[in-house]
Amino acid sequence: MTRILITGIEGFVGGHLARHLVASGQTVFGLHWADAPAGLPGELHKGDVCDFDTTRALLETTRPDGIIHLAGLSSVALSESHQMTTYEVNALGTLKLLEAVRQLQLKCRVILISSADVYGRSNVGRPLNEDLPSLPLSPYALSKHMTAEAGRFYHRAFGLDVVVLRPFSHTGPGQTATFVFPKVANAIAQTERGTREPVIEMGDLQVRRDYTDVRDVVRAYGLALERCAAGETYNVTSGKPVSIKEGVDYLCSLARVPVQVKSSAAKFRPHDIPLLTGDPSKFAAATGWQPEIPFTKTLSDLLDYYRNV
Amino acid sequence: MKCLITGITGFAGSHLAEYLLSRGDCEVHGTMRWRSRTENITQLGDRITTHVADIRDATAMYELVRDLKPDRIYHLAAQSFVPMSWVAPAETMTTNVIGQINIFEAIRAVGCPTRVQLACSSEEYGMVLPEEAPIKETNPLRPLSTYAVSKVAQDLMGYQYHQSYGMHIVRTRGFNHTGPRRGDVFVTSNFAKQIVEVEKGRQAPVIHVGNLNAVRDFTDVRDTVVGYYLALEKGKPGDVYNVATGKGYKIREMLDILLSFSTVKIETRPDPKRMRPSDVELLLGDATKLRTETGWEPKYKFEQTMKDLLDYWRAKV
């Protein structure tokens, strides 16, 4: 594939994906709703995935062979204060994209990004594979379940070439400081600069999550364009859970000044699941993908990113 | 007095925040969208409180109004760029019209006595006949873009909610306003930025221009936001006020004023992409009503505004 459209190109994953695809010789088009950061590669178009006319016109002019649909509200916390917007952007936005592809009869692979959060209460505490039922526990998770169902429906009913990916937690340089490790990295960098107190208040540090470097994740998305089977759903994950505490401790060990992390019960999330780990074998078998960047490097790059912001 | 500015990260929003803070009697809050750029408000630091709340989300607006119960809302959040409304008409209508319904309905549901100022627009007048200038508030509205139609809808909805529910709503029709921090998609700022890029050797000494014959009434944004404040404090509930200087400049003259503050020699070149499908030739406003009823008086000379705008870009580029 040579012409790839990335929706939500201005986001954390979008920037990494655009640079990866351009470096591997693809022509990249991007749809962005918030202002795009300086230096983002690709032919950029401003618009909202909730606006069907915008999406259809963009597909008609760019005629991509592949679409990677990243545009969406990506925060569980935000989804709780903006429930309707979450459904409008994540669910309806996806439906509008698929419907535009269908109407224009584009020969085009569509990669939909669902989320490990859709598993929710499913098979708690054990590795999750793609055949388990979805039991979402937040508006965000429900909206990402709807994203995936929309894709599977358009494949089943209209034969669209849709692949659904379920990434587990991922982080790396550029992620906003509302997420856990960027928050700690940012706090450490600020403490080093002397602009904040050395005490960092966190939620539950004992929960364990698979973590993958964002640069490995975007490489997986690129492979999915070529190697996954239409209509199928795949976990994208390292399969190696770490506790939040391990990651935070490692970040603190890199700090140039003493910092102190406190776990505060007031910051615990109501539905937090103690362990989220995925079975990566289906995606590995289809694409040969394996994560390459060790988590310690992800964290040190993340800290360097916040030192240089 | 607890004040909430919707769209506080925007150009006018950030200036209004500065003005309210300078008064000393206002607690300033603002809404912003998730992932909004905050460069216009970083200088305000923790003197303001921001809330992530998209006006298109009814629940988010309700919860914000319920928790904050502001005394004043200055409703500035909008899809405010006319050319964007050519490519995204439905989105423009949703954000501007449905967004305002969400705010009004939130106030009604909470039942707080909040006063609301609506930042409507001179674009609502649209096609103006030569003998109608300078335009009074009683002029017919003949909108020429989806943006303008969305502002007519906001404007009349303000009237209707005042009549139907007795809400204290004041509409302002701002004519063109500019000044430091103006986005570079707007003509004054676009030209100023291009001049600075030439000064810094980053652009060939050519400025790309659209329709240079259009006449616009430019107010300094720092005067415009005082107009918003006074209209809401001293204007009549339900009424509408132009915010304008009454003095028109051709875009060509505006460019000449900008160039007079620069030493570089620059050629101007027409660019068909900068022409609009239907453009308003003359927009000159009569703000007598705002002046007499509220005592508003613009303080900035146009030359000063243009110089400050250039200096803003010189510091930024």
Which pair of tokens denotes residue A281? 């074998």
Cβ contact, residue pair B88, A50, below 8 Å: no
Scan for tokens 């460069």, then name that residue. Answer: B39
Contacts of A81 in chain B (CB under 8 A): 52-53, 59-60, 63
Cβ contact, residue pair A34, B35, below 8 Å: yes
What chain A holds in terms of domains, given with CATH numbers, is: 3-170+213-236 (3.40.50.720), 171-209+241-277+293-307 (3.90.25.10)
Contacts of B33 in chain A (CB under 8 A): 34
Which residues on adjacent β-strands are paired with residue A29?
A5, A43
A263 touches B at CB < 8 Å: no
pLDDT score for B108: 97
**What residues of B are in the A interface, CB distance below 8 Å?**
33-37, 52-54, 56-60, 63, 84, 87-91, 94
- Residue B196 pLDDT > 80, yes or no? yes
Q: Which among B35, B52, B96 is the top mutation candidate for probing chain A, defined by the most A β-carbons within 10 Å of its own β-carbon?
A: B35
CA distance linking residue A168 with residue A212, whole number of Å: 8
- Residue A131 pLDDT > 70, yes or no? yes
Average pLDDT over residues B14-40: 95
Contacts of A48 in chain B (CB under 8 A): 88, 91
pLDDT score for B130: 84
pLDDT score for B280: 66
pLDDT score for A41: 96
Give, in words, the CATH class of B181-216+247-282+301-316: alpha beta
* pLDDT tier for residue B271 given thresholds of 50, 70 and 90: confident
Distance of CA B220 to the CA centre of its chain: 11
- Residue B60 pLDDT > 90, yes or no? yes
Distance from CA of B56 to the nearest CA of A (A): 7
Distance from CA of A198 to the nearest CA of B (A): 20
- What confidence tens digit (pLDDT) does each residue in A174-186 have? 999 989 999 999 9
- Residue B276 pLDDT > 80, yes or no? no
- Residue A243 pLDDT > 70, yes or no? yes
Distance from CA of B143 to the nearest CA of A (A): 22
| ipTM at complex level | 0.70
CATH of domain B2-177+218-243: 3.40.50.720
pLDDT score for A215: 98
Decide if B2-177+218-243 and B181-216+247-282+301-316 have a common fold.
Answer: no
- What confidence tens digit (pLDDT) does each residue in A45-61 have? 999 999 999 999 999 99
- Residue B49 pLDDT > 70, yes or no? yes
Residue type, A137: L
CA distance linking residue A251 with residue A185, whole number of Å: 7
* Closest CA in chain A for residue B37: A35
* pLDDT tier for residue A92 given thresholds of 50, 70 and 90: very high
* Residue ranges of domains in chain B: 2-177+218-243, 181-216+247-282+301-316
Contacts of A57 in chain B (CB under 8 A): 87
- What confidence tens digit (pLDDT) does each residue in B1-25 have? 999 999 999 999 999 999 999 999 9
**Contact present, A90 and A146 (Cβ < 8 Å):** yes
* pLDDT tier for residue A264 given thresholds of 50, 70 and 90: confident
- What confidence tens digit (pLDDT) does each residue in B218-267 have? 999 999 999 999 999 999 999 999 999 999 999 999 999 999 999 888 99
Scan for tokens 């490990």, then name that residue. Answer: A116
pLDDT score for B279: 64
Average pLDDT over residues A17-34: 97
Q: Which among B56, B105, B146, B185 is the top mutation candidate for probing chain A, defined by the most A β-carbons within 10 Å of its own β-carbon?
A: B56
pLDDT score for B34: 86
- Residue A305 pLDDT > 70, yes or no? yes
- Residue A268 pLDDT > 80, yes or no? no
At residue B163, the 3 state secondary structure works out as helix
* pLDDT tier for residue B137 given thresholds of 50, 70 and 90: very high
* pLDDT tier for residue B283 given thresholds of 50, 70 and 90: confident
| Mean of pLDDT over chain B | 94
Contacts of B35 in chain A (CB under 8 A): 10-11, 34, 176
Distance from CA of A73 to the nearest CA of B (A): 9
Smallest Cβ distance to B88: which of A11, A54, A88? A54
CA distance linking residue B314 with residue B308, whole number of Å: 10
Smallest Cβ distance to B91: which of A51, A75, A81? A51
